[in-house]
Amino acid sequence: MSLLKEKILQVASDLFQTRGINSTGVDTIVAVAGTTKMTLYKHFHSKEGLIIEVLNEHYRYFHAWLSERLDRKKPAERLQKLFDFIEEWVSSPDFHGMAFLKASAEFPDASSPIHELSNTHSQQFRRYLAELAADAGIADAEGLALQLSLLIEGAMQAEQIKRGSGAIVYAKKAANILIKSSLR
């Protein structure tokens, strides 16, 4: 990836996270990136293409970050440590919410490519949680994954709305109950 494309991607990512996707125009992105619309469109073809690339980058980064931490643990420990790492993520000064959750709210039309991608990321995350649950020997891995993803996504939304809300602490307590119950 060229340095200029990376810069545009980073600037757009920062602006989308702090100002919102629909509130951030291409003119603002190119001004902050110190480039031109022609250059932006050369690399991304459209604002929608740029948004999709930003969402994919955010998901890849989050998934890699979480996987790298959990992969250090034994399969039976991963579910127990999951919420510790989610709490670390949410407590980070750089946390601005989950990109796919924010994008789905800004693009509520289910036929929108951005909404579809948000749904795909949500489903991929849920499948990842189901794999963790299956590796831990949970019989209803899919059911637990759905419950855990609801807790995680809800806590992230609450923390995005009000930092330090404590939502992640209570989500973690609820998750521990669900995990212990599922392990029996």
Residue 126 to residues 21, 34, 80, Cα–Cα distance (Å): 24, 38, 16
Chain centroid offset of residue 25 CA: 22
Residue 76 pLDDT greater than 90, yes or no: no
Kindly state which CATH superfamily the domain 1-45 is placed in. Homeodomain-like (1.10.10.60)
How many whole angstroms separate alpha carbon 138 and alpha carbon 180?
Answer: 10
Residue 3 pLDDT greater than 90, yes or no: no
Q: What is the domain partition of the chain in residue ranges?
A: 1-45, 51-183
How many whole angstroms separate alpha carbon 64 and alpha carbon 47?
Answer: 26
pLDDT tens string 131-165: 999 999 999 999 999 999 999 999 998 988 888 88
Q: Under 8 Å CB-to-CB from 69, ≥6 apart: which residues?
A: 81, 85
Confidence band of 1 (pLDDT split at 50, 70, 90): low
Question: What is the value of pTM for the model shown?
Answer: 0.88
By the 8 A CB rule, do 5 and 42 touch?
no
Among 6-10, 73-77, 82-86, the range scoring the smallest mean pLDDT is 73-77
Would you tell me which CATH number, out of the four given (3.40.720.10, 1.20.1250.20, 3.30.450.20, 1.10.357.10), belongs to the domain 51-183?
1.10.357.10
How many whole angstroms separate alpha carbon 96 and alpha carbon 109?
Answer: 23
The mean pLDDT value of the chain amounts to 92
Alpha helices in the chain (DSSP H): 3-19, 26-33, 37-44, 47-70, 75-91, 99-106, 113-135, 141-161, 167-183
